[in-house]
């Protein structure tokens, strides 16, 4: 690289300053929120028995960290989310490929898929408990059912947008359906796949929490329900805070994956 001109340097300085401001602003909002919460709770303006407070959260976290229970709950929820996410990704990819290959089946089944997709899945949860029992299986099925139909439809639409001529190219070079999928459809749909994964990871977390509300003996969803029943709001709010961190972390993970494939 040659020498950077005066104007370019000024531009780079402005850009760096902009980035700093954004970062600073984010931290400020966070700290301000914590201070306001803690302050109002201490002054008695906010009933900290119901609304909890940062210091009370820290104390609960400390005691639950000491006996390890908070890590157990978080770990279980995360584990269930990752398992259902993996299942959703694999299943929807497989279904979309099958539907792409068999147009007749796809056209026949499409209205049913759309219906299943728009059905509020939380309505299914109690049914699932009766069918499958109050266990991890129910939780994972709930989470998978929440995301799999929409994800299949999105991927199928993406596959159908693949340039007809690219398919013709593969066939002119002697390739079959398998080659079309492996050499054109999948690589073409990678960006779409990653963006559906972003949606799915969030949906899976929602599904797991819904499942845990109803059918769990452990996990953050269970902790929320348990806390609200015994009126330990610290548990409830701590769980919600940890959930926020988890979803941000999971989203970040897919973001990293996205950077790697592009």
> Among positive and negative, which fits the CA dihedral 178, 180, 185, 188?
positive
**Least distance (Å) between residue 155 CB and another protein:** 17
Which residues neighbour 99 within 8 Å (Cβ) at sequence distance 6 or greater? Answer: 105, 106, 109, 152, 156
Q: Shortest gap between Cβ of 106 and another protein (angstroms)? A: 18
Cβ proximity to another protein: between 91 and 186 the closer is 186
Inter-residue contact 74 to 240 (CB < 8 Å): no
The CB-of-104 to another protein minimum distance in angstroms stands at 17
Residues in contact with another protein by the rule CB under 8 A: 163, 165-166, 168-175, 179, 183-184, 187-188, 190
Q: Which is nearer to another protein, 188 or 232 (CB)?
A: 188
Based on CB atoms, which residue is closest to another protein, 187 or 255?
187
Phi, psi of 230 (to 5 degrees): -95, 10
Cα first-last separation, the chain: 25
List Cβ<8 Å contacts ≥24 apart for 128-135: 128/211, 128/215, 129/214, 129/215, 133/215, 134/214, 134/215, 134/216, 135/215
* Shortest CB 176 distance to another protein, Å: 8
176 touches 113 (CB < 8 A): no
Nearer to another protein, 170 or 209 (CB): 170
In the complex with another protein, which residue's Cβ is closer, 101 or 166?
A: 166
Q: What is the CA radius of gyration of the chain?
A: 24
Task: For another protein, give the closer residue by CB, 172 or 229.
Answer: 172
Closest CA to 87 of 46, 33, 43, 146: 146
Nearest approach, Cβ of residue 171 and another protein (Å): 6
89 Cβ neighbours under 8 A, 6+ residues apart:
151, 193, 197, 200
Minimum CB–partner distance for residue 156 and another protein (Å): 21
């Amino acid at each position: 690289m040659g020498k950077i001109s005066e104007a370019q340097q000024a531009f780079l300085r402005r850009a760096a300053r902009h980035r700093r401001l954004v970062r600073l602003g984010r931290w400020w909002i966070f700290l301000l929120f914590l201070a306001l919460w803690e302050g109002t709770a201490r002054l008695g303006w906010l009933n900290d028995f119901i609304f909890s407070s940062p210091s009370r959260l820290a104390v609960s976290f400390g005691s639950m960290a000491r006996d390890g229970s908070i890590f157990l709950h978080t770990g279980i929820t995360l584990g269930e989310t990752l398992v259902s996410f993996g299942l959703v990704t694999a299943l929807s990819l497989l279904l979309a490929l099958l539907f792409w290959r068999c147009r007749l089946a796809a056209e026949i089944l499409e209205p049913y898929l759309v219906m299943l997709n728009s059905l509020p899945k939380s309505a299914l949860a109690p049914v699932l408990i009766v069918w499958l029992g109050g266990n991890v299986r129910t939780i994972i099925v709930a989470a998978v059912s929440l995301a799999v139909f929409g994800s299949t439809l999105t991927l199928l639409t993406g596959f159908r947008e693949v340039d007809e001529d690219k398919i013709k190219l593969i066939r002119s070079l002697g390739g079959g359906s398998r080659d079309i999928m492996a050499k054109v459809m999948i690589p073409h749909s990678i960006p779409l796949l990653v963006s559906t994964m972003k949606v799915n990871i969030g949906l899976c977390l929602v599904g797991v929490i819904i499942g845990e509300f109803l059918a769990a003996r452990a996990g953050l969803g269970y902790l929320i329900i348990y806390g609200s029943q015994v009126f330990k709001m610290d548990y409830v709010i701590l769980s919600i805070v940890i959930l926020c961190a988890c979803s941000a972390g999971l989203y970040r993970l897919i973001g990293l994956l996205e950077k790697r494939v592009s």
